[in-house]
Structure 1
Amino acid sequence: MKRDIIKINKEKCTGCGDCIPGCPEGALQVIDGKARLISDLFCDGLGACIGTCPQEAIEIEQREAVPYDEVNVMENIVKEGHNVIKAHLKHLDDHGQKDFLKQAIDFLIAKNIKIPDYESETVSGSCPGSMEIDLGEKPISGRDAPMYSGELRNWPVQLQLLNPNAPYLKNADLLIAADCAPFAYANFHQRFLKDKILIIFCPKLDKTIEQYVDKLTEIFKNQDIKSISIVHMEVPCCSGIEVIVKKALEKSQKNIIIKDYTISINGEII
């Protein structure tokens, strides 16, 4: 079967091992001075290890691979103890993987192993790139405050990492942007992002478009979204943003008006 799975660039990899703690499933090891994916079976394709690689040597690709097996993963994880179990459960929860999370919990119940309170705190080894943060709660002040105030209210912003059940999505005004747009339009924060929750992705280069449709469908269906604004570039491939959003709206059976903005390569609103 074809599915998302990590790919390690051997030329970039220095064998530092920083990716290992970010993979509680045990899919990675440093062998002969390089990080290696030791089994497709243990890689869930969610990319928890990507944000911990200082060399940007890890990416996600879609290829033929054996199916991820949560039960086999749990067989290994329980051997590593309570904290690794906790990190794994939080990892699944952070990424909205409800089915795998249920399988993991059912496994623990069947083995009469205590289920850690994975929702109550930050867990060492959980995915730092997908940790839910509502940036609107604690504005930066004092000498560390930026000269110009940014309007980013949530983290993460990349759709692949976003938890569709994140509390900040409830009754939100969404800004769904192509990931090039904030760089092309200099006043992106003040013009588009103020008081909105940001979601970004690339409709051309990202390999998880159907998953994006499903995730947006879940957000639209369950989070009572108030409004949707789209910002994309003038290049033809970027119009895929609107196609994906409309497909998700159709699947969710929601009728939400879309405000669509196009940015020229010269950085102007068309």
Structure 2
Amino acid sequence: MSGCPGSKTIDFSEKEEQSEGESGKRQSQLRQWPIQLHLVSPQAPYFQEKDILLVADCVPFALADFHKDYLKGKSIAIACPKLDSDQEVYIEKVKSLIDNAKINTLTVMIMQVPCCFGLVQVAKEGAERATRKIPVKQVVVGIEGGVLSEEWI
């Protein structure tokens, strides 16, 4: 991508892992840049044949162990179904991740608020348009930080 250097595709999945304890500093599990769905490219190497998280922007702030419990070992894209525009682009990106990047699974993580369910609809529509079929999971996080439900959809 041209323009903002923050849009440059960077894969740092090979960075050295440090052991994590329950206390003290933990290492970030983020292995790529960018992460915003408008900016990511389905052709990026960190999406190819991987397990993907599609995460509502608020989820990592509400879920204390997001990195440890969900992000570790996965690639990520974030979006806000209420505030982001041109969601048709999002649907096409999900379709491309499934068909072209040949992702293994897609986990959609949202908050319990009604507007967040729009991200699930984006994922479902992208998956329906794709020629490949993959497992899609929905994880709903409560506004106080707990996981309310996890189900394959």
Same fold, TM-score > 0.5, yes or no: yes
- Partners of 1:140 and 1:246 lie apart in 2 by 34
**Alignment match, 2:85:** 207
In structure 1, the residue corresponding to 2:64 is in which secondary structure? coil
**Alignment match, 2:40:** 162
Name whichever structure is richer in helix by fraction.
1
**Alignment match, 2:139:** 261
Q: State whether residues 57 and 78 of structure 2, in contact with CA within 8 Å, keep that contact through their aligned partners in structure 1.
A: yes
Number of aligned residue pairs: give it.
143
Residue identity matched to 1:234: Q
1:175 maps to 2:53:
yes
Aligned-residue offset at 1:140: 7.7
Q: How does 1:1-270 map to 2 (within 5 A)?
A: 91=2, 126-139=3-16, 147-270=25-148
Q: Which has the higher contact order (CA 8 A, sep 6+)?
A: 2
Residue identity matched to 2:127: L
In structure 2, the residue corresponding to 1:198 is in which secondary structure? strand
In structure 2, the residue corresponding to 1:230 is in which secondary structure? strand
Q: State whether residues 111 and 143 of structure 2, in contact with CA within 8 Å, keep that contact through their aligned partners in structure 1.
A: yes
Residue identity matched to 2:104: K
Aligned-residue offset at 1:147: 2.4
Runs of 4+ in 1 over 3 A off after TM superposition: none
- Partners of 2:53 and 2:17 lie apart in 1 by 22
Query: What RMSD, in angstroms, separates the aligned Cα atoms of the two structures?
Result: 1.6
Q: State whether residues 104 and 135 of structure 2, in contact with CA within 8 Å, keep that contact through their aligned partners in structure 1.
A: no
Residue identity matched to 2:77: I
Spell out, residue by residue over 1:34-76, the C-alpha distance to the aligned partner (whole angstroms, 9 max, x if none): xxxxxxxxxxxxxxxxxxxxxxxxxxxxxxxxxxxxxxxxxxx
Specify every segment of 5 or more residues in structure 2 that has no aligned partner in the other structure, as ranges.
Answer: 19-23, 149-153
Specify every segment of 5 or more residues in structure 1 that has no aligned partner in the other structure, as ranges.
Answer: 1-89, 92-125
Residue identity matched to 2:86: T
Aligned-residue offset at 1:139: 3.2
Q: State whether residues 184 and 263 of structure 1, in contact with CA within 8 Å, keep that contact through their aligned partners in structure 2.
A: yes
Q: State whether residues 129 and 161 of structure 1, in contact with CA within 8 Å, keep that contact through their aligned partners in structure 2.
A: no
Spell out, residue by residue over 1:152-180, the C-alpha distance to the aligned partner (whole angstroms, 9 max, x if none): 11110000110121111110100110000
Aligned-residue offset at 1:127: 2.7
- Partners of 1:140 and 1:243 lie apart in 2 by 35
Larger Rg: 1
Structure 1 residues 194 and 140 mapped into 2: Cα distance closer, same or farther (>3 Å)?
Answer: closer
